[in-house]
Chains A and B, each alone.
Chain A
Amino acid sequence: MSTMAVALTGNPNVGKSTIFNELTGARQKIGNWPGVTVDKKVGYIRHQNRAISVVDLPGTYSVNARSPEEKIVIDYLLNNKVDMVVDVVDSSNLDRNLYLTVQLLEKGISLLIDLNMKDEAERRGLKIDTRRLEDAIGMPVVETVGHSKASREKLLDVFTSTVMLNYEPSPRLQAHIDAVKEIEASGRPAEEIEEELVARRYALIDSIVAEAVTSTALGQTTSEKIDAVLANGWTAIPIFIAMVYVMFQITFEWIGQPMADALGDYIGGDFKDMVAAQLEAWAVEEWMQSLILDGVVDGVGGVLTFVPLIFVLFFCLSFLDGTGYMARVAFITDPIMRRAGLSGKGIMPLMMGFGCAVPAIMGARALDSEKDRLTSILVTPFLTCGAKLPIMALFAAMFFPENAGNVVFGMYFLGIAMAIVAAKLLSGTVFQGEPSTFLLELPPYRMPDMKTVLLETWDKGKGYMIKAGTIIFAACVFIWFLGHFNFSGMAEMEESFLASMGAAMASLFTFHGFATWEAGASVIAGILAKESVVSTMGILYGAGELSTEADEIAETASALAKTGMAASFTTLSAFAFMVFSQLYTPCATALGTIKKEAGSWKWTAFSAVYMFAIAWVVSLLVYQGGRLLGF
């Protein structure tokens, strides 16, 4: 027998992705952000000797084909041969969910109605008579409870035993469908037709629900009790800040960073020694050894150390997403975000930018308008990420020993201010006329399904490793080449392409006070990875290998202070350099992520260029302004 084609459809927040994961064990994304499953996900299973393919369609409230998600759903269902369309429905919220059901039936699509979260409905005092529902609609109905083995088996049995051809809409539904056809063909104004259709659909649904559902009076739900604390009054904002703080602690202190450090130590230590010994044993040419060790191992190793951070951060976010808290975060912060032309849904991706722009850019996927997504992607890299921090800490320690903390804090503040200004500018110019809208379901709080959280974490982390890894690999080899060669072959770094390019770059900074080739070369290296700004300076000023670890920054600073570096910057030009580093072009990994997420080289190039331009201007203003003020 041929493969049976199953498609899952349904509203957001109904546990559809959980069912998909339970059925197929495939890797994909789920969350409580409405509309998060934009990619098409397919999984394969065998049940009772039958091969079954399952497609997880995006969660939508309707199929008016207005949003990309709605278009995907309706196009897929109308243009593909699907043996069984499963309409996953939240039993505790039947009427709104049935709207999509009715719309699909109007289009002539037969459905298996899956009453999911039956347990939740019962807890809320709702009892659904499945026989009556079946009779009222004319389509088969099955009950499930999300992530459970029994529900999985039950669904698979229904898939293989039910013949959809045996079902047709009930007479009552058929009458509705005929009436809809008539209204659609009536030639009245489109808006009037739509209003009438919506009213008719809900009238039909209300009459079906009245027959099939009995509801015992319920008091305040658990979710509302939790919301009274988490989304209300004076407690909401401190709790939100505490949540973010704990998430950052987990990622950058407690779990993620120690793993990253251990991995970094291993790659830079034992692993590098092992490779070196092996290359020596094979008598590999010296330049090749340098390429592999200093170029590939150091460069790609540097990226790999981010992997634990990304995984831990995404685990935290997926978990919070799964609980339903993310929707509350959007609810709490919307008025603040709106001022910058964004919506509350954008706060979390933005906050992540303080850790690393890469997950922050990937996180923007959850935003629902193209404008919000692009704005978020384009402004996030202004923030002080974990890799810019060493630059700030180092310069502050060297040139502002009295005020280091305040200067670093000032740089964080500058990044935030610039992100807000840029968001405002973008929404007033490039994206003018596209209002940021905010309409968000606040789903009930739920215990996240761990399988789904882990699959989602893996999916995102894997994407980062593959995409960023390939780009970084190429970039590492390229920068190594620039740093070790000139037109007459292999050369010391001072005479390499990198040095000449640094000198050329430096000419851009004639009026910024740091027009040295060392600074220029560091700026170039910083486009590869921001950590490289400090390590390149170390090499160029002859201080050797320098640590960029936060707790060893004082040693690094004192090592560099003994070199020519201290003399080549004034306090003011050092400050201007910090400002520039804070704001200029995102690193190669971030640019690669922008390419992937924005889906165009145009926006990637725009990001690289406009940030460089803004950094150049602001840094110039700081330096010249400072001189006028007599610093």
Chain B
Amino acid sequence: MTAVLEIENLSVTFPNGTAAVRGVSLTVAKGEMHCLVGESGCGKSVTALAVMNLLARNADRRANRLRLAGRDITGLSEREIGKLRGASMAMIFQEPMTSLNPAYTIGSQMTEVYRRHKAAGRREAVDRAATLLDRVGITAPGLRLGQFPHQLSGGLRQRVMIAMALMCGPDLLIADEPTTALDVTVQAQILRLLASLQKDLGLATLLITHDLGIVARVAQKVSVMYAGEVVEQASVAELFARPRHPYTRGLLECVPVPGKVARGSALGSIPGMVPTISAGFQGCGFAGRCAQRRPDCGGAIPDQLLGAGHRVRCVLPQDAPSGNIAA
């Protein structure tokens, strides 16, 4: 398994002092779907935009390591990173209704990215676009290429976005809440499509979501983010079977499971809101909402490795065999 995306100790700070991402590390392998899960405002999208280098100009991005398909991309100029964006790494967004330019046809927007990166002719680009529209399950691709975004439904537009992301055969696909704005039935179709693309094309996919149901369905690996940090990381089976971090447990209790939750009993919820963390913050960001808070939650938080790639950032002692990695 070769790592397509390697992030080590990524931090993003905005000029107003908000530390939106604090020391995030994660790896996405070829053919793997890695889910980044957490509440709104926990830094998931900022992490994704930081990888794409699409952050606002005044954001401060630092990382020990940021590699795409083995190539270091931390120090690349805007021009050089522009050559990778759309070519080796592609991204799709939450709002399919507004993510396509209303003034240009589907075909024009799809071929444009291919011709930019591949120095291909018009015909070749159009053929490729039609093939991909067909691949993402759009019937009558020839007709669709000549249509404008407003003539398509939300689900179709998201399929177009996916097909457009695949135009140059990227190694990495970042999908930022791609199904949040869609109907439930369409949501399932889009997820199935993403899963099949990841398998068939060996695509490394970083899927950002707040929905644990989606994680359970499509992910191989999960990183749970809270207040800019990855608080727990594990394979999907491990995480659902043995959640360690109090936040992860809280999240799981918020998901209704038919048969397990008695009708009429209250569904779990986590009191409070995600805090805004300033640069230089020490301790656990979740402490304020945690039921198992201890006095040492305000100090350095250890990153405990529980074996089999399961790691958790918490001061609570873990029963499993653990190697202690100082934070």
Q: Do A and B come from one complex?
A: no
